[in-house]
Every structure is written in C-alpha cells, then in structure tokens.
Amino acid sequence: MLRYILRRLLLLIPLLLAASAIIFLLLRLGTGDPALDYLRLSNLPAH
C-alpha cells in the first residue's frame, strides 16, 4: 500500500507541472492582461 501511495505522489509532480504550464500558456495566449479583464468585468476602477 505504501508503494502505491508513493508512486501516486511521484506521478502527481509532473501532472501539476504540466497543468500549471498549460494554464500559464492559455493565459499568455489570451489578449490583454487577465487582471485588467477581471477589473473590467467587475466594474471596479483601475488606477
């Protein structure tokens, strides 16, 4: 059982790195700044 848990934890590391890279790339491919888009959608004034 310990072996199974260790293997799953070791597989989790590349999965988290890949998911982070994909999310980062998707945000970078979008037009504009995600923070400014959020401010625009929430009707808050940007300084």
Q: Which pLDDT score, from 0 to 100, does residue 47 have?
A: 61
What is the amino acid identity at position 27?
L
Q: Which two tokens stand for residue 39?
A: 């401010």
Q: Which pLDDT score, from 0 to 100, does residue 12 have?
A: 98
What is the rounded end-to-end Cα distance, in angstroms, of the chain? 54
> Full-prediction pTM beyond 0.85?
no
pLDDT in tens, 20-47: 999 999 888 877 787 888 888 887 665 6
Count other Cβ atoms within 10 Å, centred on residue 39: 14
